[in-house]
């Protein structure tokens, strides 16, 4: 019994140390990763979804045979009102979200980085006003890790909900 208790205490100490080290690594910025060099719109497309289940993309179907196509699939954002006003509203919504930092806001393209509070993980999120389709295409992906626990999908849906709440009233 004493050996079992001693073993459990040792495991608890080791686990506590690992959690503390991971937290320190996050606070020091060691878990941020680097922004991919190929973000942006290229030939009417945002970057493909990640090869692991840690991203969402409204253009996932443009990448047939992609290993995470089904996981990554998410609807684009609807336009409410004129396009320029919609992009301005989108920028306001994104900028107000926890952990958000606008990296680029140029015309029909908006890119933000979202940093998690405790571990300082960074996700790259892009929005592109696809005027021909009349929607805003979106891609959100974690820089590190094999999974995102649904964080990127939840973030995009939070943006969608906030935009719907701020949508201009329909005119009779």
pLDDT tens-digit profile of 5-51?
A: 778 777 777 777 565 555 555 555 555 578 889 999 999 999 999 99
Residue 147 pLDDT exceeds 90: no
Q: How far apart are CA 20 and CA 16, in angstroms?
A: 6
pLDDT at 117: 81
Q: What is the DSSP letter of 3?
A: H
Residue 153 in contact with residue 133, Cβ under 8 Å? no
Query: Which of the pair, 11 or 124, is modelled with greater confidence?
Result: 124
pLDDT tens, position by position, 57-106: 999 999 888 888 989 999 999 988 899 999 999 999 999 999 999 999 99
Nearest to 110 by CA among 122, 132, 93: 93
| The model's pTM | 0.83
Q: What average pLDDT score do residues 109-123 get?
A: 91
Domain ranges of the chain: 1-30, 32-165
The structural architecture, per CATH, of the domain 32-165 is 2-Layer Sandwich (3.30)
Spatial CB neighbours of 92, under 8 Å, sequence gap ≥ 6: none
Residue 68 in contact with residue 147, Cβ under 8 Å? no
pLDDT at 95: 97
Q: What average pLDDT score do residues 134-150 get?
A: 93
Helix (H, G, I), strand (E, B) or coil at 56: strand
Q: How far apart are CA 128 and CA 117, in angstroms?
A: 26
Q: What is the DSSP letter of 80?
A: -
Provide the pLDDT confidence category of residue 171 given band limits of 50, 70 and 90. very low
> What is the gyration radius of the CA atoms in the chain, in angstroms?
20
């Amino acid at each position: 019994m004493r050996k079992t208790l001693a073993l459990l205490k040792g495991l608890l100490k080791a686990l506590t140390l690992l959690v503390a080290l991971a937290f320190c690594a996050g606070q020091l910025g060691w878990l941020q990763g680097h922004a991919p060099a190929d973000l942006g719109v290229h030939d009417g497309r945002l970057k493909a979804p990640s090869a692991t289940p840690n991203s969402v993309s409204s253009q996932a179907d443009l990448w047939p045979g992609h290993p995470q196509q089904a996981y990554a699939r998410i609807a684009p954002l609807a336009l409410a009102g004129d396009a320029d006003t919609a992009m301005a509203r989108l920028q306001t919504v994104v900028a107000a979200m926890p952990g958000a930092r606008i990296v680029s806001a140029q015309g029909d393209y908006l890119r933000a980085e979202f940093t998690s509070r405790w571990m300082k993980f960074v996700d790259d999120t892009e929005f592109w006003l696809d005027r021909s389709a009349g929607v805003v295409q979106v891609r959100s992906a974690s820089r590190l890790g094999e999974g995102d626990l649904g964080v990127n999908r939840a973030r995009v849906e939070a943006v969608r909900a906030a935009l719907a709440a701020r949508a201009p009233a329909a005119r009779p």
